[in-house]
């Protein structure tokens, strides 16, 4: 990943920071400069809870650039508690146990390494929630 792109998207990738529209209340993730519902530019950053459930999932056997060495890996669309869908990898889970509707939580994990001189890219993945006790 290019360093400026990494820098621009890091609050979304590290902190699951989206936006909330001050006019209509719509929550967006990824963050947007214009509300996707009402078109207002009055949006402010908001860190999302990271809780949600699996909307759909699959397994990637041949990934895009930078991901080939990690295949196969699980990917999902996660319906966040605040409403938006997010595309993310699943981690710390038995592939056979994954199902639609399963509760998950966000964790920060290494996504990829861009060779010996490139950056190590971290970002969100989702896992089944750790249960206290």
Partner 1 sequence: MSEVFAVGIGQTEVGEHWDRSLRQLGAAAARAALADAGTDRVDALYVGNMLAGDLSGQHHLGPLIAEHAGLLGIEAVAVEAACGSGGAAFRTAFLAVASGHVEAALVVGVEKMTDRPGKEVTQGLVTAADADFESQIGLSFVAINALLMRRYLLEHRVSRDDFAPFIVNAHANAVHNPMAMYRFAVSAAEFSRQAMVADPISVLDSSPVCDGAAAVLLCSRDRARGLGRNAARVRACTVGTDTIALHDRRDPLELAAAVRSSRRAYELAGIQPRDIDLFEAHDAFSIMTALSLEAAGFAERGRGVAFGASGAIAIDGDLPLSTMGGLKARGHPVGATGVYQIAEVLLQLRGEAGQNQVKNATLGMAQNIGGSGATVVTTVLEAVR
Does 122 contact partner 1 by CB under 8 A?
Answer: no
Binding partner 1 (rule: CB under 8 A), the pick from 30, 81, 91, 107 is: 30
Whichever of 15 and 85 has its CB closer to partner 1, that residue is: 85
Binding partner 1 (rule: CB under 8 A), the pick from 20, 27, 50, 57 is: 57
Q: Any idea which residue has 């902190």 for tokens?
A: 15
b/e sequence 103-127, b meaning 16+ C-beta within 10 Å: ebebeeeebbeeeeeeeebebbbbe
Judged by CB under 8 A, the number of residues near partner 1 is 36
Does 50 contact partner 1 by CB under 8 A?
Answer: no
Strands (E), 12-132: 17-21, 27-28, 43-47, 51-60, 73-80, 85-90, 103-113, 120-127
Structure token pair of residue 107: 């964790």
Does 52 contact partner 1 by CB under 8 A?
Answer: no
Structure token pair of residue 77: 């669309």
Nearest to 66 by CA among 4, 20, 5, 111: 111
* Min dist. Cβ of residue 56 to partner 1 (A): 4
Interface of this chain with partner 1, residues 61 to 120, rule: CB under 8 A: 61-65, 67-68, 70, 73, 75-77, 84-89, 100, 111-112
Phi and psi of 52, rounded to 5°? Answer: -175, -170
**List of residues contacting partner 1 (CB under 8 A):** 1, 5, 9, 12, 30, 36, 55-65, 67-68, 70, 73, 75-77, 84-89, 100, 111-112, 121, 123-124
């Amino acid at each position: 990943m290019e360093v400026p792109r990494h820098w621009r998207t890091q609050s979304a990738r590290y902190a699951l920071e989206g936006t909330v529209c001050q006019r209509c209340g719509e929550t967006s993730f990824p963050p947007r400069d214009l509300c996707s519902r009402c078109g207002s530019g009055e949006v402010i950053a908001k860190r999302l809870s990271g809780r949600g459930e699996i909307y759909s999932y699959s397994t990637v056997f041949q990934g895009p650039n930078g991901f080939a060495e990690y295949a196969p890996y699980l990917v999902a669309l996660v319906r966040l508690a605040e409403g938006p869908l997010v595309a993310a990898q699943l981690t710390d889970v038995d592939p056979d146990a994954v199902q639609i509707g399963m509760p998950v939580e966000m964790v920060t994990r290494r996504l990829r390494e861009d060779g010996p001189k490139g950056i190590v890219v971290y970002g969100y993945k989702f896992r089944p929630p750790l249960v206290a006790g």
